[in-house]
Amino acid sequence: MVAEFEIESLPSPPSNNCSYVELKTNLTKWDLPGILLLLSTSSYLEKLVIKKDYNTEGISQYTADYLQEYYFNETNYWSLMLASPCLMKELEFVDMYDFAGGSSETALVKFLLMKAPILKKMVIYSEKEKHSSENRSASASNDKSKLSEKLMTFQRASPDATISFV
């Protein structure tokens, strides 16, 4: 986890020449500054793969006092990031795994769509269902459909960008 105060104290972020990045993250609001720093310094990034990391050890090592001291409003943070000039000029493909539709996940999808002018394809793999009863499956299917519809309404920097929700 890279905290906001750590990012602010960096002189100028080093550039990263990777064309492919596989990111394993919990995708909590505390991960956002680090993810955005990585993206903003990855000028040559063509493919981004985001996988959920279900290891809860990362955030749990911090005390409530520490987290409160560095608290930030996630909604305001995304608004500022969407207004920033950060563009991912080479990003063409994004794969997101175990997408549950949480606020951080949805905001990251919106950010990527708005900041990647040559994006061709974004594939979002939904979170695997943990129960197999018919009622839960029907409900999960309905939730996926609503989430898919919501994602399709997001503004895109690339007129050619397609979104697949699997």
pTM: 0.78
Q: Are strands 47-52 and 121-126 parallel, antiparallel or unpaired?
A: unpaired
pLDDT tens digits for 53-100? 877 665 566 677 767 777 777 877 877 788 777 778 999 999 999 998
The share of the chain scoring above pLDDT 90, in percent, equals 33
Higher per-residue pLDDT: 55 or 132: 55
Residue 1 has pLDDT above 50, yes or no: no
Question: What is the span of the domain harbouring residue 127?
Answer: 4-165
Cα–Cα distance measured from residue 124 to residue 126, given in angstroms and rounded to the nearest whole number: 6
pLDDT of residue 93: 98
Look at the block and give the residue holding tokens 């492919």: 20
∠ CA 128-36-18 to the nearest 5 degrees?
85
Cα–Cα distance measured from residue 105 to residue 107, given in angstroms and rounded to the nearest whole number: 5
Domain count, the chain: 1
pLDDT of residue 94: 97
